[in-house]
Structure 1
């Protein structure tokens, strides 16, 4: 028997939350209901009252400040539960924003389901780098009806099913290696994973902004032992305003945990936007490549390459663990090849020269230059050799 937490604003969505809790109990699991409503601190509507989660600051009478205070309180309270096997929450835009920061704090692998009215839009702020499963409510979460009963039942049974299955062997016989990959660096990362599969449990992350954050969250959580950061392209989006940007904390987890890091400058020749009509007006005269109808790639300029290199060097200079930055001087992506659409020697020179000048080399932090392309088999072999050397 597993233990599920059912979380929500019982002052406004009590019927729906109790319905979900009952279905999970019917499936054979223990349930604790948790109220995070802010309308009345004194009323007990669930097993855990709102006042048990938050202090007086969450009951100000002002919706905005109350919700923010309750969200912060739940973010502290929920991860501290030692009997939580899974969690489900329901909400509109406010309720979803209230509960999901706490769910993001829970370890990867704990089932997390949220039924939300905003699940069909931009869900990145709610999911972050966690494994939250969002289900669109179709109708508003405002009463039980012929639609909501079915949707909520599906969500409840999804959580119950996740809790009912036998434990999954995560395969922890090898240390975990985090790798970053983009479509234009796939041959390199594939070759690295094939070479290291017997030595490491290879976790490949798609470098879409969220992918890099997910990898570094696992590093921060102590779940990744080393990193092969082939595709640092999210930094280019950060400095140029693309849609797959890293945060300012990119490489922060590497510095904090001091894990071995071997990386490169994969796909720093491009900035990502959506469909062509989403490209900002200030960039309309730039060089573009249509990756697909929904992804437009913009070639980085020498100035943008310098800015990306400065960011990368600053992050690596803060790392006290072993660092090897391996440069492919003949191109950083499948588009950056001789005669290719993003071939730009001036931009490559700006990137390389800045890294040469800004990276502070020591016995533990080194710049390795190769006369190779990022997708050459020999380049992948060099990454593997450097990783083995720093992981000994």
Structure 2
């Protein structure tokens, strides 16, 4: 059975370009489902899902939007409409992947709908803004961007090739061989380069015990993506070794995961083992991105585009307090593992961020503010010591095995 591509676009102003892409998709052996989001005029190609249907799903009507002639209102209504319709159509089996073309507004609308789809569903956006910062469009979903080079305004020798490549790409995505997924429970873990030895060993032990492990880079989006997967019920347990995103949240760094970090596992009641990985560093980019008020602090050039700032004792106390507050809300088995000899590769004697005073402030705050429901373990080890990694893995496996035993008894 042929796979189907949902093609979202403004068929009133870009009908020629979308018709070309439609024909290219069909030439590659796929079917096309056409969704029109244009409000200015009637479409130049016949859609399967009309702009009127989208407007109604967004809480208005096409007639009303045209009468008001308010660009902002039309944008909000049509965006809301495709955000509601797209995931519903996917759940009904109407399409297998989605493609859109657009400039700034078209990209914002189409990607808002794409972000409503589950991880793993092919999502391709051909856009004139793709060569810039696209983080707002991608957020924490697996969107693929292709730079259109020229604007989506007419067909020529350049745009025909690029749009044909886009059609081939989305067809390749939806027609690929199905991946043989392992039927193993999933554990999520968090890692930074400075905690890699620990997390790698934890992952190995969990995999040896029969678990599949997904490691998230604790860069703000990584932590948020992990929280999303937990909320969607995809995760059995969490080895949250690297909680460094709290440093950026507290001190104003660039890699914060927001105030909801460390919430999902506790709310879901799944087993979690949490540690202090990289709580010694706040992340900035090139040196000139460090705020003036921090220029005299202990700074470390991790790379030419990454500048790290050592957390102060005051910041560490606040970080510890916030982490403890999140863990205290947990409804499932939770352990906090504290490595008394250092929290990252560069928080070690002789290294750039070795600061026993700051570490002590962090550890004292965690101890003071964590309630009795949290299993708190202090180990006289460095976070990257093998014994510390083994302790994390063993504790999580204990939680998971106990949970499985309880489920078997029910």
Asked if the contact 1:38/1:67 (under 8 Å) is kept, the reply is no
Asked if the contact 1:178/1:224 (under 8 Å) is kept, the reply is yes
285-294 or 251-260: bigger deviation: 251-260
Partner residue, 1:192: 202
Which of 66, 83, 93 is equivalent to 2:104? 93
181-190 or 84-93: bigger deviation: 84-93
1:166-219 superposed Cα distances (whole Å, 9 cap, x missing partner):
211122x21111110000000000111111113211111111111111111111
TM-score, normalisation: structure 2 = 0.91
Partner residue, 2:297: 286
RMSD: 1.6
Partner residue, 1:179: 189
Partner residue, 1:2: 3
Please state how far the C-alpha of 1:45 moved relative to its aligned partner: 4.6
Asked if the contact 1:236/1:268 (under 8 Å) is kept, the reply is yes
Partner residue, 2:77: 69
Q: Distance in 1 between matches of 2:389 and 2:61?
A: 54
TM-score, normalisation: structure 1 = 0.95
Asked if the contact 2:10/2:37 (under 8 Å) is kept, the reply is yes
Partner residue, 2:222: 211
Asked if the contact 2:334/2:375 (under 8 Å) is kept, the reply is yes
Partner residue, 1:118: 129
1:33 aligns with 2:34: yes
Gap runs ≥5 in structure 2: 402-410
Aligned residue for 1:291, secondary structure, equals strand
Q: Distance in 2 between matches of 1:235 and 1:73?
A: 35
Q: Distance in 2 between matches of 1:274 and 1:134?
A: 23
Partner residue, 2:408: none
Aligned residue for 2:256, secondary structure, equals coil
Asked if the contact 2:272/2:334 (under 8 Å) is kept, the reply is yes
Asked if the contact 1:57/1:66 (under 8 Å) is kept, the reply is no
Aligned residue for 2:223, secondary structure, equals helix
Q: Distance in 2 between matches of 1:234 and 1:57?
A: 43
Partner residue, 2:170: 159
Partner residue, 2:260: 249
Asked if the contact 1:272/1:297 (under 8 Å) is kept, the reply is yes
59-68 or 348-357: bigger deviation: 59-68
Asked if the contact 2:273/2:392 (under 8 Å) is kept, the reply is yes
9-18 or 196-205: bigger deviation: 9-18
Counting only pairs closer than 5 Å after superposition, residues 322-333 of structure 1 correspond to structure 2 as 322-333=333-344
Q: Distance in 2 between matches of 1:260 and 1:131?
A: 26
Please state how far the C-alpha of 1:69 moved relative to its aligned partner: 2.4
Please state how far the C-alpha of 1:73 moved relative to its aligned partner: 2.1
Q: Distance in 2 between matches of 1:20 and 1:41?
A: 19
Q: Distance in 2 between matches of 1:129 and 1:258?
A: 23
Asked if the contact 2:185/2:212 (under 8 Å) is kept, the reply is yes
Counting only pairs closer than 5 Å after superposition, residues 1-392 of structure 1 correspond to structure 2 as 1-39=2-40, 45-55=46-56, 56=60, 59=65, 60-81=68-89, 82-83=92-93, 84-171=95-182, 173-198=183-208, 199-362=210-373, 365-392=374-401
Q: Distance in 1 between matches of 2:32 and 2:231?
A: 30
Asked if the contact 1:184/1:335 (under 8 Å) is kept, the reply is yes
Partner residue, 2:407: none
51-60 or 287-296: bigger deviation: 51-60
Q: Distance in 1 between matches of 2:11 and 2:279?
A: 48
Gap runs ≥5 in structure 1: none
Evaluate the alpha carbon distance shift between residue 184 and residue 43 of structure 1 in structure 2; reply closer, same or farther with a 3 A threshold: same
Size of the aligned set, in residue pairs, is 389
Asked if the contact 1:32/1:47 (under 8 Å) is kept, the reply is yes
Aligned residue for 1:268, secondary structure, equals coil
Q: Distance in 2 between matches of 1:22 and 1:265?
A: 54
Asked if the contact 1:43/1:49 (under 8 Å) is kept, the reply is no
